[in-house]
Amino acid sequence: MSGSSQVLPADSLLALRARLREFAEARDWMQFHTPKNLAMALAGEAGEVLEHFQWLTAEQSAAPDAVLREAVALELADVLMYLVRLADVLEVDLAEAAARKLAINEERYPLGKARGRADKYDQL
């Protein structure tokens, strides 16, 4: 999923959703944008993000050079675009769902128990 280099406002999931929908409709791709196909594409793109970090140390991954940073940025853009398309097809409001999930996580990971720990909520 690539297109023009026109920049969208950083806070505009709705604008991105509309541009992606128009992109797919113009190419008659809606027939292929089933939840299954979009979820598989999303997972594949997430795997491409992982590939860039596969053999790096933690330190190397925390300080990518400009070439790696740009490559990862483009893969992250693919992940975001497939995520937004999948949410559109499933009629999920991503901002609202993220707000609900963050509220759940705030309860699961209270500061007094979770601060500085990487344990899963049921292990705190």
> Please, are residues 68 and 49 in contact by the beta-carbon 8 Å criterion?
no
pLDDT in tens, 54-112: 999 999 999 999 999 999 999 999 999 999 999 999 999 998 999 999 999 999 999 99
Fold of 13-92: Helix Hairpins (1.10.287)
* Interatomic CA distance for residues 52 and 85, integer angstroms: 24
pLDDT at 122: 87
pLDDT at 123: 87
* Mean pLDDT of the region 36-53: 98
Q: How confident is the model at residue 1 (pLDDT cuts 50, 70, 90)?
A: low
Between 1 and 46, residue with greater pLDDT: 46
Q: Where are the domains of the chain?
A: 13-92, 93-124
8 pLDDT more than 60: no
pLDDT at 116: 94
pLDDT at 2: 47
Mean pLDDT taken over the chain: 92
